[in-house]
A and B are shown apart, each in its own frame.
Chain A
Amino acid sequence: MSFFMDNILTIVCFFPLLGVALILVWPRGKEHDGSIKWIANGVALAGFFISLPLITEFNDARFIDSESGMRFAFKADWIPAIGAQFSLGIDGISMLLILLTTLLGFISILSSWTAITERVREYYCYFLLLQVGMLGVFMALDFFLFYVFWEVMLVPMYFIIGVWGGPRRLYAAIKFFLYTLAGSVLLLLGILALYFFHHSVTGIWSFDVLAMQQLDIPLNLQIWIFLAMFLGFAIKVPMFPFHTWLPDAHVEAPTAGSVILAAILLKMGTYGFVRFSLPILPEATMHFLYPLLVLTVIGIIYGALVAMMQKDMKKLVAYSSVSHLGFCMMGVFVATPVALEGGILQMINHGISTGALFLIVGVLYERRHTRMIADFGGLSGIMPVYATVFLIMTLSSIGMPTLNGFIGEFMVLQGVFADSTYRLWAVWAAVGIVLGAAYMLWLYQRVMFGELEHEENQNLPDLNWREIATFVPLIILAFWIGLYPKVFLEYLHEPVNQIVERVRPNQFSPLPAQVALRE
């Protein structure tokens, strides 16, 4: 047990490889597809369970690194010649994202059970490999290692879109790959600049992220590094105007691919800002705050308006992502304690509700092989369970109180409003909430209510048990965060306070050890 706990991050990160190895040695042939599904699901579920100690043992003093406050830290030399280390460690932010990843990884694998019938073996291999890359990104405390994980996940995602996607899948897949790669290579140059600056100050060749967070970098240099990193992360988020790959990728990807893309992959961009840009380049972030806020607001409103006009459900949800992530980024950039914490919580919320919405669209697509809103209508009568799930997730997405979306959006707005300089930006963001309600409710109305006009929809089966099983954890989480977010926020106070102290020192009182909403 102690070996397990001492290496828990490494084990959680590379555990999916076990599934890949098993699938690769499993006998070939169509008749073995069933067992491969069981292996993949089993490994993914086990991966979720072995990640649970991260939350239960999180505050155990034995696993806290006394200097940095990082949990479960693990360090080993990797490439001594350049000072790159295999260094993992998590704080509250990454812990929540890791659990989201292991949970949604399992859910999306489970949701592929009947959707994927071709090349089953490869499909699950790619998914499990993707899982390794995503987990590594959230765990890495060494910039070189981070970059390796960041890039490694592009390849399996390319294949997931490119092989099992819709009619324009090749275009969408390569667009996704090239856009992200273009940002990444510039990110690499930014990382190198930090690396050399760190060396010129300390004389040590190191990619240690925590050491870089301690540097005082001249503003002039910060600006250049920020711009390089901004492109890397902003394309991934994606922020307006770098979002154009997202609708294509989402529309063409298979359902599970969309789920994982929206829920986890996009979070890698926002996580990059929170973990790297803000604490390492605080002055540059503040320097660019104004244009950044303009971009987030454009993202919020433009995303919402475009979503409203969509005829394709999946595209609608994809554009709603652009809008919601604008919210996240606004909270993150303003970086008052409450706004930042709200932004981070909104990352989790978006993972839950948008992930679920893509599953919901996928359910209909699997039954009818169309995603056009016009092909549906009046489904609530024949699919009552589905209608309930859809409703809950719609409300979660538009920020209905008692559900998770409300808490996140409220905290972002409150946090932005708390800063007298940027108070008015909250108003613009609030417009986005109204528009969000409009397009989501309109979507729900057009699909679920009204007369059942299309003959072929007459006999659509309701959700089966497997599908219900994919939704249940998400619904529980949505209500849990909505009704009692303290459990989750508690983990965020400490890292959020640290980041705010870096970015805007001595301006705000740190978050107390209670729910931020009660301030």
Chain B
Amino acid sequence: MSELPQISNPLEFFLFNGRAIGPQLHLILWGLGLLCIDFLIPKGKGRVGAFFAVGGILMASLHLYWLWGQSLASAFYGMITLDAFALFFDMLFLVAAFLSVLMSYRYMEVEEEQGGEYYALILFATSGMMFMAGAVDLVSLFIGLELMSISTYILVGFLKRSKRSNEASMKYFLLGAFSSGVILYGMSLLYGLSGSTNLDEIASRVSGLQDPTLLTLSLFMMMAGLCFKIAAVPFHMWVPDAYEGAPTSITAYMSVAVKAAAFAIFIRIFFVAFSDLREVYTLVLALIAMITITWGNVAAITQQNIKRLLAYSSISHAGFVLMGIVAGTQSGVTAAALYLLAYTFMNLGIWAVVILLRRQDIAGERLEDFDGLFFKHPAIAVLMLVFFLSLAGIPPLAGFIAKYFVFAAVLEVVFAEAGPNTSILVWLAVVAALNVVVSLYYYFRFVVAMFIKKDYLPAPLSFSGGLIVVLVITGILTVLIGIYPQPFIELARAASESLI
């Protein structure tokens, strides 16, 4: 942490700190601006809102790019940090938000729910995530978490006339609020024990505690709450319903960005504040990861609806990311970060295709809706195949590199015999490896439908310029991370080095 400069007047204070949270400010101001001009946008021209939001995201990205070259270490008296870890995740959120907005506007027209507040909420949620990634203090962390969560609750229920969407939003809200409460309770215990809300200070103050009972309780409260947010079994119940009911573009956004943000605070809390308790939580987290991967995959086998299938598959992917945390090493954090990056592209790609299939009067979610896609739109079907193979972890695609890294991180610990519970880690690796086979099975049910079944639904797909851009970007990156992963690995490594 660099020294805070002596700041005498308020204006200087805001200028200095404002630069540090510039990307978030951009998102919030553009979002507010969008709300202000929304009533000026004539009906049927809802796309203007989308382009406005894209403008905000691009400006935030520019600011983030500028921050990358700066050596601003922290702001707001140590509430917010700007280490490589935070910047890595900020970038990931902006990419996810950018792609989600681009795939949204045509879809929201099909759903007849186009509205400026939709994009504004995406911007607000993204800024909340960026606060989470940069938070090194329990207070800023929780504020970021709530800003993100509340925006997402509304977005999930954005299809106001759809019962499914309303139900999903309600369910997500109740369980989400509950889990936030559990996290908050854990935080309050932590504050009581250490007398500080700063993660670094907490770490140094709790390390000398005589009786670790309350600390352990706080750890497990936080773990349970965070497992809700990342959707790990047994806290995953809300996922299939929320993912199915939400507007598909929001499901896509949630499955990558919301999940990545929850992982960012998960990693930060567990690697900074609870770094001394590794022996306590490794075993539990390893078991959770094992069950999450397996249950997500097993439940996905029988799904006939692509949204539910991808919901379960995203549960299992969360388990794979957890493996990086279980490893508890710097390579583990690298692996988790790289996995989330790869997952962002391959998963958004898949969701983009699902959105493409949503047409007037056709939900485009059932297995049968994919029948014969290859014969009508070979390029789309081949892209979908690439995304599926990548999700399953077949080389040379992004998903394989990601899976390779989590396996390597776990086995590295076994070989270094650095940590406790090495035998459970071996089992974790074996179980996770065999789950690759299971996941391939259910992904390929859709591949069979696309490439081998012949009866194609005649209605034209909902193409739009934005969607094509999304497909091209995600497709290229899914292949590129697989074939030439070096720069992406370096990014993820820089992120993990700054944390540990």
Chain B positions 406 through 426: 1 when the CB is less than 8 Å from some CB of chain A, otherwise 0: 011001100100000000000
Q: Are B411 and A177 in contact (CB under 8 A)?
A: no
Q: How far is the CB of A168 from chain B (nearest CB, A)?
A: 13
Cβ of B394 and Cβ of A154 under 8 Å apart? yes
Q: How many A-B residue pairs have CB under 8 A?
A: 73
Stretch at the interface among A87-95, A183-191, A208-216, A305-313: A183-191
Candidates B396, B412, B436, B440; contact of A152 at CB < 8 Å = B396
**For the complex, is A462 an interface residue (Cβ under 8 Å from B)?**
no
With contacts A162-B448, A163-B451 taken as known, whether A182 is within 8 angstroms of B434 at the C-beta atoms is yes
Question: Interface size (B, Cβ < 8 Å)?
Answer: 29
Q: Which residue of B lies closest to A178 (CB)?
A: B437
Q: How far is the CB of B445 from chain A (nearest CB, A)?
A: 9
* Known A152-B395, A192-B408; contact A185-B485, beta-carbon cutoff 8 A: no
Interface residue B52 (Cβ < 8 Å from any Cβ of A) = no
Task: Assess whether A155 is in contact with B394, with CB atoms less than 8 Å apart.
Answer: yes
A148 to B483: give the CA distance in the assembly, Å: 10
CA distance A82 to B404 in the complex (A): 11
On chain A, the residues within 8 Å of B411 by CB distance are: 189, 192-193, 196
Bound-state Cα–Cα, A188 to B429, Å: 10
Residues of B within 8 A of A195 (CB): 408
A182→B484 CA distance, assembly (Å): 26
Cross-chain contact A181 with B440 (CB below 8 angstroms):
yes
* Interface membership of A508, Cβ < 8 A: no
Name B395's closest neighbour in chain A (CB-CB). A148
- Interface 1/0s, chain A 52-83, versus B by CB < 8 A? 00000000000000000000000000011110
- Distance, CA A188 to CA B407, complexed state (A): 9
B99 is an interface residue with CB less than 8 A from chain A: no
Complex Cα distance, B415 from A70, in Å, reads 31
A181 in contact with B395 given A82-B489, A159-B451 (CB within 8 Å)? no
Report Cα–Cα, A276/B412, bound state, in Å.
21
In which size bucket is the chain A interface? 20 to 34
Q: What B residues does A192 contact at CB under 8 A?
A: 407-408, 411
Question: Does B493 have its Cβ within 8 Å of any Cβ on chain A?
Answer: yes
Interface residue? B441 (CB, 8 A): yes
A151 at the interface (CB under 8 A from B): yes
The answer to whether the Cβ of B433 comes within 8 Å of any Cβ in the partner chain is: yes
Q: Which of A135-161 contact B (CB under 8 A)?
A: 147-148, 151-152, 154-155, 158-159
Roughly how many angstroms separate A186 CA and B452 CA in the complex, as a whole number? Answer: 30
Find chain B residues with CB under 8 A from A197 CB: 415
Q: How far is the CB of B419 from chain A (nearest CB, A)?
A: 14
B490 contacts the other chain (CB 8 A): yes
Chain B residues whose CB sits within 8 angstroms of the CB of A162 once the complex forms: 448, 451-452
Q: Residue-by-residue, is B434-468 near A (CB-CB < 8 Å gives 1, otherwise 0)? A: 10110011001000100110000000000000000
A120 CB–B CB distance under 8 Å: no
A189: contacting residue among B394, B429, B490, CB under 8 A: B429
Kindly report which residue of chain A lies nearest to residue B441, judged by CB atoms. Answer: A178
> When the two chains form the complex, which single residue of A163, A170, A186, A193 contacts B415, counting CB atoms closer than 8 Å?
A193
User: Is the CB of A200 closer than 8 A to any CB of chain B?
Assistant: yes
Chain B, residue nearest A199 (CB): B415
Instruction: Say yes or no: is B430 at the interface (Cβ < 8 Å to chain A).
Output: yes
Q: Render A199-231 as a binary contact track against B, CB cut-off 8 A, 1 for contact.
A: 010000000000000000000000000000000
Do residues B490 and A81 form an inter-chain contact, with CB atoms below 8 A? yes
Q: At the interface, is chain B mostly helix, strand, loop or mixed?
A: helix
In the assembled complex, B389 has its CB within 8 A of some CB on chain A: yes
CB distance from B97 to the nearest CB of A (A): 28
Residues on the B chain within 8 Å of A452, using CB: none
Instruction: Name the distance in Å between A130's Cβ and chain B's nearest Cβ.
Output: 14
User: Which A residues touch B389, using CB under 8 A?
Assistant: 155
Q: CA A188 – CA B437 in complex, angstroms? A: 13
Q: Which residue of B lies closest to A224 (CB)?
A: B426
Task: Give the docked Cα–Cα distance between A193 and B407 (Å).
Answer: 10
Please indicate the chain B residues that have their CB under 8 angstroms from the CB of A82 in the complex. Answer: 408, 489
Other-chain residue from A80, A155, A158, A185 in contact with B433 (beta carbon distance below 8 A) = A185
Q: Is the interface of A mostly helix, strand, loop or mixed?
A: helix
B486 CB-CB contact with A under 8 Å: yes
A22 within 8 A of B: no
Q: Answer whether residue A174 sits at the interface, using C-beta atoms and an 8 A cutoff.
A: yes
How far apart are the CA atoms of A81 and B331 in the complex, in Å? Answer: 11
Cα distance A192–B432 in the bound complex, in angstroms: 14
Cβ distance B211 to chain A, nearest Cβ, rounded Å: 38
Contacts of B484 in A (CB 8 A): 79
Contacts of A152 on B, CB cut-off 8 Å? 394-396
A163 / chain B contacts, CB cutoff of 8 Å: 451-452
- By the criterion CB–CB under 8 Å, are B489 and A79 in contact? yes
Shortest distance from the beta carbon of B84 to any chain A beta carbon, whole Å: 16
- B489:A81 contact, CB within 8 angstroms: yes
CA distance A189 to B430 in the complex (A): 8
Q: How far is the CA of A154 from the CA of B436 in the complex (A)?
A: 14
Interface string of B346-358 (1 = CB under 8 A from A): 0000000000000
| A-contacting residues, B460-498, CB 8 Å | 484-486, 489-490, 493
A289 to B16, CA, bound (A): 71
Q: Given A79-B486, A178-B437, A185-B434, is A196 in contact with B415 using a C-beta cutoff of 8 Å?
A: yes
Taken together as a complex, chains A and B put the C-alpha atoms of A154 and B433 apart, in Å, by 17
A202 to chain B, nearest CB (A): 14
Residue of A nearest to B411 (CB): A192
A164-178 CB contacts (< 8 Å) to partner B? 170, 174, 177-178
Contact of A147 with B395 in the complex, beta carbons under 8 Å: yes
Q: How far is the CA of A151 from the CA of B451 in the complex (A)?
A: 20
Q: Which of B389, B394, B493 has the most CB of A within 10 A?
A: B394
For A174, list chain B residues within 8 Å (CB). Answer: 441, 444, 448
B341-382, CB < 8 A from A: none
In angstroms, Cα B484 to Cα A155, docked, is 21
Q: Are A196 and B412 in contact (CB under 8 A)?
A: yes
Assembled-state Cα–Cα distance A192/B486 (Å)? 19
A302 to chain B, nearest CB (A): 26
Is the Cβ of B486 less than 8 Å from the Cβ of A80? yes
- Taking a contact as CB atoms under 8 Å apart, the answer to whether B433 and A189 are in contact is yes
CB distance from A66 to the nearest CB of B (A): 30
> Which residues does chain A contribute within 8 Å of B436, judged by CB atoms?
181, 185
Given contacts A81-B486, A152-B395, A152-B396, contact A189 B437 (CB under 8 A): no
Q: Which 9 A-B pairs have the closest CB atoms?
A: A185-B433, A196-B415, A81-B489, A148-B395, A182-B437, A192-B411, A181-B437, A185-B436, A148-B396
- B→A interface (CB under 8 Å): 389, 394-396, 400, 404, 407-408, 411-412, 415, 429-430, 433-434, 436-437, 440-441, 444, 448, 451-452, 484-486, 489-490, 493
Q: What are 17 contact pairs spanning A and B, CB under 8 A?
A: A82-B408, A152-B395, A163-B451, A170-B452, A177-B444, A178-B441, A181-B436, A181-B437, A185-B434, A188-B433, A189-B407, A189-B433, A192-B408, A196-B411, A196-B412, A196-B415, A200-B415
Q: Which A residues have a C-beta under 8 Å from some C-beta of B?
A: 79-82, 147-148, 151-152, 154-155, 158-159, 162-163, 170, 174, 177-178, 181-182, 185-186, 188-189, 192-193, 195-197, 200
If A182-B434, A192-B407 are given as contacts, then 14 extra A-B residue pairs at C-beta distance below 8 Å, sorted by A number, are A82-B489, A148-B395, A151-B394, A154-B394, A158-B444, A159-B451, A163-B451, A170-B448, A170-B452, A186-B433, A188-B404, A188-B407, A188-B433, A196-B415
